[in-house]
A and B are shown apart, each in its own frame.
Chain A
Amino acid sequence: MTAEVVQAINRRRLPGDEGVWFFIVADTMMFAVLFSVFIFSRNNAVELFEQGRMTLSVSVGFFNTLILLSSSALVALAVVAAREGSLRETQRYLQAGIAIGALFGVSKLYEYSDKVSAGYAINTNEFYMYYFALTGIHFFHYLAGMIILIVCLVKLKRLSGPDHAGYQVWLESAGCYWHMVDLLWIVLFPMIYLLQVTV
């Protein structure tokens, strides 16, 4: 009984590096500020924001959500596999996670070029300012996440010997960052693409 309790307490651990968690929390707080700024500006110009929103493609947005969720799940599976010591599986999950994650970049670049060729730019109006800035800042986080995941893959291939505690911390930290990118999109997407005015 007591041994089990002790074990349960020991299991209450944060995946990855606690310093990275400081980064993640700071970043999510920053996004909360950005969301608030968007919401308050929208309140002052509901019609303008609604007109802008109508020009966005909702189905592409849902597709992007599915991409990020699946990529996140694969990276989470990679973390579990590494914890259990099966590095071959880790590699496969990680590769799949990166491959699916890359689709988000393709789809986002297509979306941006579509908007730009339709004549919308960051200084078109307030809605597009937020659309480009918020999704752009998110996209930046996405790019950083992709690079970190690729670094994890390279590090995995160079791993030698059975002791990979250090690598585990790397992978878990990268994974948590990647899930944060996913999590932020889950809020960003309905806020910008779906928040409609129904009269």
Chain B
Amino acid sequence: MSKSSHFKQLYFCAWAGPFFISTFLVFWAFMGDFLPPLPGAAPIEEITAYFRDNTNTVRWGMAVSMTFCITYLVWALAISRIMDFCLGEVDSILSRIQTWGAAFTVVSIYLNCGMILGAAYRPEALDGTMLRLAYDLGWVFLDLGFFPTTLQMCAMGVAFLADPRQPKLIPKWLSWYGIWVGLMFFAVLLMPFFKSGPFDRAGLLNYWIEFGIWYIWCAVLSVYVLKAVKRLESESSPA
């Protein structure tokens, strides 16, 4: 494979990041009305209203989110390549952990969207407890599927920090920030025990802070990934 087509593919993967971030925000967060989600203590009428009153919005939101959430993995492939450049290895274990971590993150998004979409398929025929179960399951899969993402973030942090370049391809603070965000996810282990308050799935810590710091990480990293690909391209081409 020629060098230029290699970098074309790498750019394609790197741009999948901003694409994921924006589709996730529009179709999952806004159309799925997950800003924030209904708390565990939400009355059953609110859950049924969520499915029965916005049926088509939710269907479109979930269907498009499911379609495109794989772009998170495509983006992770660009990250893996950058990690290999940092480590000076081909197909390193760390970059594999990172890729697989991203793949399983996508699985929990699939499950989340699938549960919600399944309930939105015929909400008029399902009673409230069924709809609530689907909603709860969707959030259990998303929140408690955090550990692959933690592994992913820690693996890339370690690889980025091992970069001998000065300055590093990905700045140190961002690597540490990612590791911190990944470890913060452990707080969602408390989510199954609460239906309100900060540890609830819609609460201050387990929703606003966890998803907020993760989303910021995604956005900032996607910029630095593009920068890193650009630098690698200029490094590889003779001046």
On A, residues with C-beta under 8 Å from B are 17-20, 22-23, 26-27, 30, 33-34, 37, 41, 122-123, 126, 129, 133, 137, 140, 144
Contacts and interface: CB of A to CB of B under 8 A. Distances in A.
A122 B205 contact: no
B65 interface: no
Contacts of B177: 22-23, 26
Given A37-B198, A126-B197, A140 B186 contact: yes
Contacts of B44: none
Contact of A30 (B179, B184, B194): B184
Contacts of B193: 122-123, 129
A27 B199 contact: no
Given A30-B184, A34-B205, A19 B194 contact: no
A140 B189 CA distance: 12
B137 interface: no
Interface centre among A19, A30, A123, A129 (most CB of B within 10 A): A19
Interface string B186-222: 1100100110011100001100010000000000000
A122 B180 CA distance: 25
B172 interface: yes
Q: Is the interface of A mostly helix, strand, loop or mixed?
A: helix
A137 B186 CA distance: 9
Contacts of A140: 186
Contacts, number: 46
Given A18-B172, A27-B180, A129-B193, 10 more contacts: A19-B161, A19-B173, A22-B180, A23-B177, A33-B205, A37-B205, A122-B193, A123-B194, A133-B199, A144-B183
B190 A122 contact: yes
Nearest to A140: B186
A19 B205 contact: no
28 contacts: A17-B172, A18-B172, A19-B161, A19-B175, A22-B172, A22-B176, A22-B177, A23-B176, A23-B177, A23-B180, A26-B180, A27-B180, A30-B184, A30-B209, A33-B205, A33-B209, A37-B198, A37-B204, A122-B190, A123-B194, A126-B197, A129-B193, A129-B194, A129-B197, A133-B190, A133-B199, A137-B187, A140-B186
A133 B161 CA distance: 31
A121 B130 CA distance: 29
Contacts of A23: 176-177, 179-180
Contacts of B187: 137
